[in-house]
Copies of this chain bind each other. A is one copy, B any other.
Amino acid sequence: MEMDLNAQEKKEGFFQRLKDFPSKLKDGVTKRIKNVQKFGKDDPRRIIHSMKVGVALTLVSLLYYVRPLYISFGVSGMWAILTVVVVFEFTVGGTLSKGLNRGFATLTAGALGVGAVHLARFFGHQGEPIILGILVFSLGAAATFSRFFPRIKQRYDYGALIFILTFSMVAVSGYRTDEILVMAYQRLSTILIGGTICILVSIFVCPVWAGEDLHKMIANNINKLANYLEAFEGEYFPLSEKISKETNSCVREYKSILASKGTEDTLANLARWEPGHGRFRLRHPWKKYLKIAGLVRQCAFHFEILNGYVLSNYKAPEEFQSKIQEPIATMSREAGEALKAIAKSIKTMSKDTASVNAHIDNSKKAIENLRIALKSSYPETEKDLLEIIPGVTMASILIEVVNCVEKISGAVEEFSSLAHFKETLDPKLPVEIGQHQLLHRGSVKPVLDGDNEEEDNSSPHVLITVHDEQPPTTTGKNSLGAEKN
């Protein structure tokens, strides 16, 4: 009986562990699965891309599965599989760049390889491997060296790699086979089949355009700058701490811009391989995006320095702070609004110079007000000058930020002509927003041009901001301002 009990206990312990094991495993696995799901949901195009690769692989497998195809291509079909795996990239530009590079490199290197084999045969069976060896060494080394040149590295790196590969393979295996032309033909044709399948699937099944990604990325980056500027008052001035906590999550988004140069360069490079698509023509000025991106990054550098003053515990005395708060807040808010308008103009590919310039002008007027505020708060004692230095520095950098915003606006305006932006607002927007825009356009200019003595920058501005996501709430401030004039 005891043994029976022991055995039962053991059995129960075992069952207990068996019972615990699934829950432990489940915890680990569900965590992983949730991570993967979240990752897929973040950008569903990743899942679609994986499916597309699967489809291309299945299509290319038919070269083996279907008897007539297998009879004509034989084992060379594996070159098609290899091509699909290495050529299929996430973006259309990437696939096209790799596919075309591979195709042309295989063609030229194959031809050269066949030539090299025929040349080497003149030197007899003894001399042949020596000549081939010398040719493979020298062409291989030269092509490898060429890959270091930035121009080649940027656009034809993969082509140079495939050139070395194909030339070496054709030249070396030519020594052992007499059917070198058949081999080269089969290799080339299967690579063409694989490459074509990749390019077709990439373009016609849910395409991911590098150009469009670049376009959206630049607009989003400008929006990130705008978010920082709009939250700046809440971040810097401790009185309005409430805002600070609400917006904190998206405020530091600008940091991603600091290191985004690599991605932008790659996207611009790939975009140039893409045919015209959607709103982008064949010769869309992709390089110009990099100019805008450079200015955007310059602005982000300024934020990075500003951030030091925002997070610093040591700030200027409250009296001084309260004097500069109003102009500083207006400056950053208006500069942010200008950036929002620029980002929207890029997103909708329609010019909106009037609104952008109005915001920038408001921001500049706030700079003047800031100067007045600084004048009226000049230090009374020696110590005061030292105390207000952080505040003065912050203000000074913020003025530079406004200059940056103006430069971005200039670059985008130049770009908008090259990229054939529409002159009016996007017609897809609801009609009433278009009307607000007209109202705004008709009424802002007189205020800005005329020397309205009653107007200072702390008074409400005659500006209606049209947001992408939601219809503008015609607050009392805006509509009153518009009606006043």
Q: Choose one: B78, B138, B374, B382; the contact of A389 (CB below 8 Å).
A: B374
Q: Which of A17-55 contact B (CB under 8 A)?
A: 39-40, 46-47, 49-51, 53-55
Q: Is residue A392 contacting chain B, with contact meaning CB distance below 8 A?
A: yes
The CA-CA distance from A99 to B136 in the complex, in Å, is: 22
Q: Is residue A129 contacting chain B, with contact meaning CB distance below 8 A?
A: yes
Contact (Cβ within 8 A) A64 B161: no
Q: Is residue A318 contacting chain B, with contact meaning CB distance below 8 A?
A: no
Q: Is residue A484 contacting chain B, with contact meaning CB distance below 8 A?
A: no
Contact (Cβ within 8 A) A371 B386: yes
User: Which chain B residues lie closer than 8 Å to A86 at the CB level?
Assistant: 161, 165
The CA-CA distance from A196 to B386 in the complex, in Å, is: 66
| Stretch in A139-147, A236-244, A323-331, A447-455 touching the partner | A139-147
Q: A50-B142, A168-B61 are in contact. Are A400 and B137 (CB under 8 A)?
A: no
Q: Is residue A397 contacting chain B, with contact meaning CB distance below 8 A?
A: yes
Q: In the complex, which residue of chain B has the Cβ closest to the Cβ of A70?
A: B176
Report the minimal beta-carbon distance from A197 to chain B, rounded to whole angstroms.
13
User: Which chain B residues lie closer than 8 Å to A165 at the CB level?
Assistant: 81-82, 85-86
Fill in one digit per residue for A142-173: 1 if any B CB lies within 8 Å of its CB, else 0: 10110011000000000001001100110011
Report the minimal beta-carbon distance from A43 to chain B, rounded to whole angstroms.
8
The CA-CA distance from A389 to B258 in the complex, in Å, is: 27
Please indicate which of the listed interface residues A82, A175, A385 has the most CB atoms of chain B within 10 Å of its own CB. A385
Q: Which of A51-97 contact B (CB under 8 A)?
A: 51, 53-55, 57-58, 61, 64-65, 70, 75, 77-78, 81-82, 85-86
Q: In the complex, which residue of chain B has the Cβ closest to the Cβ of A385?
A: B378
Q: Choose one: B161, B261, B386; the contact of A85 (CB below 8 Å).
A: B161
Q: Is residue A322 contacting chain B, with contact meaning CB distance below 8 A?
A: no
User: Which chain B residues lie closer than 8 Å to A75 at the CB level?
Assistant: 173, 176
Contact (Cβ within 8 A) A169 B65: no
Contact (Cβ within 8 A) A58 B161: no
User: Which chain B residues lie closer than 8 Å to A385 at the CB level?
Assistant: 374-375, 378-379
The CA-CA distance from A51 to B58 in the complex, in Å, is: 40
Please indicate which of the listed interface residues A86, A137, A400 has the most CB atoms of chain B within 10 Å of its own CB. A137
User: Which chain B residues lie closer than 8 Å to A262 at the CB level?
Assistant: 259, 261-262
Q: In the complex, which residue of chain B has the Cβ closest to the Cβ of A395?
A: B389
Q: Which residues of A contact B (CB under 8 A)?
A: 39-40, 46-47, 49-51, 53-55, 57-58, 61, 64-65, 70, 75, 77-78, 81-82, 85-86, 129, 132-133, 136-138, 140-142, 144-145, 148-149, 161, 164-165, 168-169, 172-173, 175-176, 258-259, 261-262, 298, 301-302, 304-305, 308, 371, 374-376, 378-379, 382-386, 389-390, 392-393, 396-397, 400
12 contacts between A and B (CB under 8 A): A55-B137, A61-B172, A64-B172, A75-B173, A85-B161, A86-B165, A301-B301, A301-B304, A308-B400, A374-B385, A375-B385, A375-B386
